[in-house]
Amino acid sequence: MEEQWVEQVVYQRPKSLSKVPTHYCPGCTHGLIHKLIGEVIDELGIRERTIAVAPVGCSVLLYNYFELDGAEAAHGRAPAMATGLKRVQPDKIVFTYQGDGDLASIGMAEIVWAATRGENITVFFINNAIYGMTGGQMAPTSLPGQVTRSSPMGRDVEMTGMPIRMAEMLAELPGASYVVRRSVHDIRTIKESKKAIRTAFRVQMAGAGFSLVEFLSSCPTNWGLTPYQSLDWIKQNMVPYYPLGDYKVADIVKDLK
């Protein structure tokens, strides 16, 4: 008998991602995190009621890459804009996607207050320790001694203070329900990231309050490293200062499982 060969789809682009190339640099992990978010939105079946709020920074064109309704916020103001979108249509799923300059510097007030109010939105915080879009200047999360275009002798913490640990800080706020830090530098951390994205969306779907996933993410171009070296740099340099883990898992979130 002749053997039957049937082609099976084992992998495809998530429906929540648009069929367009991104502008991200080769080896940058923005694209990977986009994919994880898109997969989770598909799996949860929420694409048709999800609204993305893009930041100012490398992911400014995020709405072009997702097959979702999307808005572009002013620099740092995405949590406020998401608040407006969500408060008038609580049945929708609203997420922001913000870099370290957007969230931890210029948008500090907006993120702290969204968390404080327990705003029922989901925030994806991409920490790559650098200002990518403007060409590699010092970020609020740049590491001590890190050479950037605006700290050419290395970040001098005597002058600028120490890098800020957002997940730890936001976890302290009573309004925050789910705050975790993840990375994407190897298969294990990528899988854990996806799980966290899923939990964060489920928190919002249950009306359980503010959820945030911080990702340690790479920037090969501005770090001056190859993509592979960049992943190693996350592991060797960022993880020790920004430990991965669950900083806030409120009881209401534990009950979801």
Partner 1 sequence: MAPVDPLQGKELLKGNVAIAEAAIRAGLQAYFGYPITPQTELLEHMSLRMPQLGRTFLQAESEVAAINMVYGAACAGVRVMTSSSGPGISLMQEGLSYIACSEVPVVIVDIMRGGPGLGNIQPTQADYNQLTKSAGHGDFHSIVLAPSSVQEAIDFTVLAFDLAEKYRTIVFVAGDGMIGQMMEPARLPPMQKVRTTRPDWALTGAKGREKNIITSLYLGGEVLESVNQRLQAKINRIRAEEVRYEEMLTDDADILVVAFGTTGRIAKTAIREARRQGVRVGLLRPITLFPFPFAPLDELSKRVKAILVVEMSAGQMVEDVRLGVWGRVPVHFYGRTGGVVPLPGEILDQILALAGRLDEPPSGELREFVGMSVSVS
Residues in contact with partner 1 by CB under 8 A are 47-51, 53-54, 60-61, 63-64, 66-74, 77, 80-89, 92, 109-110, 113
Other residues' Cβ atoms within 10 Å of the Cβ of residue 50? 22
Q: How far is the CB of 76 from partner 1 (least distance, A)?
A: 9
Nearest to 29 by CA among 221, 166, 243: 221
Q: How far is the CB of 84 from partner 1 (least distance, A)?
A: 3
Kindly write down the DSSP assignment for every residue of 29-54, as one continuous string. SHHHHHHHHHHHHHHHT-GGGEEEEE
- Are the C-beta atoms of 143 and 128 separated by less than 8 Å? no
Nearer of residues 42 and 192 to partner 1, judged by Cβ = 42
Nearer of residues 109 and 162 to partner 1, judged by Cβ = 109
Q: How far is the CB of 117 from partner 1 (least distance, A)?
A: 8
Q: How far is the CB of 176 from partner 1 (least distance, A)?
A: 15
CA distance readout (Å), 251 to 24, 160, 182, 255 = 38, 37, 20, 6
Q: How far is the CB of 134 from partner 1 (least distance, A)?
A: 15
Nearer of residues 85 and 103 to partner 1, judged by Cβ = 85
Nearer of residues 111 and 203 to partner 1, judged by Cβ = 111
Q: How far is the CB of 17 from partner 1 (least distance, A)?
A: 12
Q: What's the rounded Cα separation, in Å, for the pair 15 and 207?
A: 25
Nearer of residues 16 and 218 to partner 1, judged by Cβ = 16
- Are the C-beta atoms of 166 and 146 separated by less than 8 Å? no
Residues 6+ apart with CB under 8 A from 95: 37, 50, 51, 52, 53, 82, 121, 122, 123, 124, 201, 204
Nearer of residues 111 and 250 to partner 1, judged by Cβ = 111
Query: Can you tell me which residue has the tokens 């920074």?
Result: 57
